Structure 1
């Protein structure tokens, strides 16, 4: 890949997905785009980039962005956020939403679906506590390709072995040859939709819990601010945002605050105090007016 093509690719990714690809990542670009070239029967990366630079092949441009933004995921990744969901957040919402008996969860940048299905397994494990409740999980990602995989709920032996407890495997999956299919019961709990985190999201409504983990680390500061500015309004007033272990909102979003008891957990910040109109009209006494 030429220096010019790599510079163009970095700009394209920044504009389309917010991904800030470092100047030392040319090897990664060449590796992923080589695979794309083989899939598309394109003779070289140079030929691929020439077609994209013409601006006439929007579907190919989208394929390039997808190839570069597809990130690794696995079931119950890092464990801590899932323990937080099971032991803290779920109990909170059972109490707070007792009247409506609804629970809405958003997994942003869900990739091939393991995070959303991990949460669905925990919800299934709390079925008695959630009897009569309407629980929905939305999983979104910029990549249509990984979302198709997520919708299918089919995973390889390698993917199954990474993070999935054996009891969960036996309870929720069936084996078909060398693949494993997640149960229809869990698949119906999750809706997958294509969405760019940097685009308006008001159509989704509000959520009790939002998972957006290990995404902000790929953004520069202005892009992090934009992403958080779009995520924060989607939280219910008593909602919870779960980020990755190395991610934070500090210095990036005034509408969110850290939960002091749980790392990686953020809440909507209380609204700034606005003085009552009557107090604004009052003026301090400056003594008696002079007689005229």
Structure 2
């Protein structure tokens, strides 16, 4: 791939998704563009890029951006955030909500394993929820991933990654060579396409936001923008969960870390109020 073509693709992807592709990612870009070129009948990656330059075909551009995003996920990924959710976040919210609705936003839902994992935790707690019910919103930039999330159908390999056997048997039914999640769990979750660079005020407000393993692909100004806008969408004192390699420290003071809980942050109402008044 010529340097000028790499610069063109990386600029387009960054503008449309926030994803930063460093110069050492040339091979990655080529490997992900090649299937698109073959599928659409282009003789080479160069031909694909030339067509995008000339035609600005929205479908091709969307396919390229989708291909560049990392959609790695599995049930109960990293485990610690889900333990924190069950042992720290839910007890606090149940006490505060007193039988009301707990609203959760999974801001990078990918193919749905994260929101379904949260729904399984909540369902397994039963009476401990004190009559509270969960509403979970899963968003992602990839419509292809969200279609799979909405279907709630996973391969044997996918359900074996992180999902305890007892939960598999309780919440899934065998569907040919695949497994289909319980419709009762699906009823508590809705999915919609969302680019974190867009205005997401229309989504409403949430008690908890999961935004894991996304910010690591953004530059510092984009991280700051996304985090501070998320702080505006959290009902205080609300919670934010980031990935193990991510932090708000040195990025924004809209959230502050919770001692002893890796990746957990709480909205700082004083900072939000000060910004709103400014």
Asked if these proteins are the same fold (TM beyond 0.5), I'd say: yes
Kindly report which structure 2 residues correspond to 1:1-292, keeping only aligned pairs within 5 A, or say none. 1-98=1-98, 101-130=100-129, 132-271=131-270
Looking at structure 1, the residues matched to 192 and 168 of structure 2 have their Cα atoms a distance apart, in angstroms, of 25
Looking at structure 2, the residues matched to 16 and 165 of structure 1 have their Cα atoms a distance apart, in angstroms, of 37
**1:120·1:186 contact (CA, 8 Å) conserved in 2?**
yes
**Shift >6 Å, 4+ stretches:** none
Counterpart of 1:290 in structure 2 is none
How much does 1:103 deviate? 0.4
TM-score (norm 2): 0.94
Distance 1:272 1:225, change over 3 A: closer
Runs of 5+ unmatched residues, structure 2: none
CA deviation map 1:150-200 (0-9, x unaligned): 001111111111111111111111112221111111111110000011111
The structure whose residues are more often helix, as a share, is: 2
Distance 1:274 1:230, change over 3 A: closer
Looking at structure 2, the residues matched to 223 and 93 of structure 1 have their Cα atoms a distance apart, in angstroms, of 30
Runs of 5+ unmatched residues, structure 1: 276-292
Looking at structure 2, the residues matched to 42 and 258 of structure 1 have their Cα atoms a distance apart, in angstroms, of 49
Secondary structure of the 2:266 match is strand
CA deviation map 1:218-275 (0-9, x unaligned): 1111111111122111111111000001111011112111112311111111415999
Report the RMSD for the aligned CA atoms in angstroms.
Answer: 1.7
> How many aligned positions are there?
274
Secondary structure of the 1:210 match is strand
TM-score (norm 1): 0.90
Secondary structure of the 1:214 match is coil
Looking at structure 2, the residues matched to 227 and 274 of structure 1 have their Cα atoms a distance apart, in angstroms, of 18
